[in-house]
Amino acid sequence: MFIQQIINGLTLGSVYALIALGYTMVYGILQLINFAHGEIYMIGAYMAVIALGVLTATGLTAVNLPLSIFLVFIISGLFCGAYGLTLERIAYRPLRHAHRLSPLISAIGMSIFLQNYVMLTQDTVDKVFPHIIPATGLELAGASISYLQIFILAASFILMTALHLFIKKTRLGKAMRATSQDSRMASLVGINVDSVIAVTFVIGSILAAAAGVMVAMYYGSVNFFIGYSAGIKAFTAAVLGGIGNIPGAMLGGLLLGLVEGLGASYISSEYKDVFAFLILILVLIFRPTGLLGERVGEKV
């Protein structure tokens, strides 16, 4: 049972980690907590249901399931990337030089807007993700790991590695690091700060979309409200790992998933959500910079 809980926790945690990356990247560059990020994840989950419905109608899912799932990821990623870009453009860029609180309020406004927009256009009833992925898996020491769980773990790992390499090895990644250290200095040496910020939002949104698609497949149903709790938990994960720190977000997500899974099974399932927020409070009291965060002083 312990192994099973670890696997469940890691699966959940890798999803949190993917969402947390979006929070942490944006914070690293803008010192802004993008509260609408959870809604991007929710839209990603909805896009998965819609895209798969369209692909099923064309008959592709019956012919080639892996290809259609790949396409679902691509479609959802494209849409969410576009949402992220638009979000930055209309809600944050005009407020770039405003008081620190203004973009934060704008973020909360966008979150409420997107939630209600999805509720009105997609109805309030839970949408069911078609049961096309077989629930089979491996048996390991009394624990059953479904292929879907393996897929989620592997896909998250690949995406996180890709992100890590992108930031460490590419020119654009270097520009992002430079902007996060000092955006004015970065602009003086010829980095287009606006486009770097836009790229950050797009990448964060694509990762959230991937998390959304995987959650839609894993849980089997989505509604307009899932972005709220997932967003807050991913935010906790980002704070736990040290906000602004990319490996920290990955670590924080995985730890949070484990704590939630183990806490719910060994302590009380009633308090499942409490564990996440307990961690948030403890981290903020005892280690405000997070596990891997360096001291940033006045930035926080």
Partner 1 sequence: MKKLKIAFLLFIIPFSLFTLFTGCAKKEDTIKIGVAGPMTGDQAKMGTDLKNGVELAVSEWNEKGGVLGKKIELFVEDDQHDPKLAVTVANKLSNSGAAGVIGHWNSSASIPASEVYKDRGNIPMITPASTNPQLTERGFENVFRVCGRDDQQGKIAAEFVAKNLKIKKVAIIHDKTTYGQGLADEFKKALVNETEVVYYGVVIQGDKDFRAVLTSIKDKKPALIYFGGIYPEAGLLVKQAKELGIKAPFMSGDGTIDKEFIKIAGKENAEGTYLTFSPDPLKIPAAKSFLDKYHAKYGEHGPYSIYAYDAANILLTGISKAGAIDGKKVRDAIHILAYDGALGTVQFDKKGDVLKAPYIVWVTKDGEFKEFKQTTSD
Q: Which residues in this chain contact partner 1 in the complex, by CB under 8 A? A: 1, 4-5, 8, 12, 123-126, 128, 131, 135, 137, 139, 144, 146, 148, 215, 219-221, 223, 225-226, 260-261, 264-265, 268-270, 272-273
> What is the closest distance, in whole angstroms, from the C-beta atom of residue 285 to partner 1 in the complex?
26
Residue 73 or 275: the one with the smaller Cβ distance to partner 1 is: 275
Phi, psi of 112 (to 5 degrees): -65, -40
> What is the closest distance, in whole angstroms, from the C-beta atom of residue 259 to partner 1 in the complex?
11
Measured CA to CA, the distance from residue 189 to residue 15 in angstroms comes to 37
Residue 126 or 182: the one with the smaller Cβ distance to partner 1 is: 126
Phi, psi of 31 (to 5 degrees): 55, 40
Residue 143 or 178: the one with the smaller Cβ distance to partner 1 is: 143
DSSP H/E element including 94: none
> What is the closest distance, in whole angstroms, from the C-beta atom of residue 109 to partner 1 in the complex?
22
Measured CA to CA, the distance from residue 26 to residue 19 in angstroms comes to 12
Q: Which residues contact 234 (CB under 8 A, 6 or more apart)?
A: 16, 17, 19, 20, 22, 23, 37, 38, 41, 253
> What is the closest distance, in whole angstroms, from the C-beta atom of residue 144 to partner 1 in the complex?
4
> What is the closest distance, in whole angstroms, from the C-beta atom of residue 164 to partner 1 in the complex?
27
Indicate if the alpha-carbon torsion angle 165, 31, 204, 191 is positive or negative: negative
**Using an 8 Å Cβ cutoff, are 45 and 62 in contact?**
no
Dihedral, 299, 170, 234, 3 alpha carbons, nearest 10: -130
> What is the closest distance, in whole angstroms, from the C-beta atom of residue 225 to partner 1 in the complex?
7
Q: Which two tokens stand for residue 152?
A: 């989620």
Residue 270 or 298: the one with the smaller Cβ distance to partner 1 is: 270
DSSP secondary structure of 95-107: GTTS-THHHHHHH
Residue 124 or 181: the one with the smaller Cβ distance to partner 1 is: 124
The residue whose two tokens read 């709790």 is 229
Residue 88 or 260: the one with the smaller Cβ distance to partner 1 is: 260
> What is the closest distance, in whole angstroms, from the C-beta atom of residue 16 to partner 1 in the complex?
11
Query: What count of Cα atoms within 13 Å lies in the side-chain half-sphere of residue 104?
Result: 7
Residue 215 or 280: the one with the smaller Cβ distance to partner 1 is: 215
